[in-house]
Amino acid sequence: MWMFGYLEEEIGVTVLKKPILREIDGTVFFIGHGDGLGPGDNKYKFIKKFFTNPFCQWLFSKIHPNLSFSLARYWSRKSRENEKDGSPSFLGEKKEWLIQYSKEEYQKNKEINYFIFGHRHFPIEHKLDKDCKYINLGDWIDHFTYAVYDGKKTEIKKFI
């Protein structure tokens, strides 16, 4: 059970494990978190296997909450530090694994207009084709970004 079912049981939130396709007013969106998709992102893929393993989740549940929350904060901070310290905002089309993944998926389904992800923690808008765009939402902690679909186009906006 993903995250022990907490979000589903306590507040009724549906946790999606894989990207979804949604059509809104004739516009097709491919929406997902972006974690573990496409080539690369190997450290995350390894850690995700560990954290989604039922036995590992059971073991984690046996740790005192003070220690478990400290570990969770450490991993969260570590992920953001890696993004801020060593990585430029845009690695280039060939090195951005979510762009590579989006291009592969677009070849399978040319009806998709937008690929929307958030895993990279910084805003990116990248045209894949004249009718298709990759958007990484960024975040609301450092970049204060989100995306808006106005019925015609989707674009990144800033809170501040």
Encode pLDDT of 81-110 as tens digits: 555 555 557 788 888 899 999 999 999 999
Q: How confident is the model at residue 16 (pLDDT cuts 50, 70, 90)?
A: confident
Looking at residue 25, its pLDDT comes to 93
Residues in the chain, total: 160
Looking at residue 138, its pLDDT comes to 87
pLDDT surpassing 90 at residue 129: yes
Q: How many CA atoms lie within 13 A of 8 on its CB side?
A: 9
The answer for residues whose C-beta is within 8 angstroms of residue 18's C-beta and 6 or more apart is 32
Q: Which two tokens stand for residue 133?
A: 């765009």
SS3 5: helix
Cβ atoms of 57 and 4 within 8 Å: the answer is yes
Looking at residue 32, its pLDDT comes to 93
Q: What is the mean pLDDT of the chain?
A: 85
Q: Comparing 6-20, 90-104, 122-136, which segment has the lowest mean pLDDT?
A: 6-20
Q: How confident is the model at residue 112 (pLDDT cuts 50, 70, 90)?
A: very high
Looking at residue 1, its pLDDT comes to 40
**What is the 8-class DSSP label of residue 16?**
P
pLDDT surpassing 90 at residue 7: no
Looking at the whole model, is its pTM more than 0.85?
Answer: no
Radius of gyration of the chain (CA): 17
Q: How confident is the model at residue 116 (pLDDT cuts 50, 70, 90)?
A: very high
Our measurement of the distance from residue 104's CA atom to the centroid of its chain's CA atoms, rounded to an integer in Å, reads 17
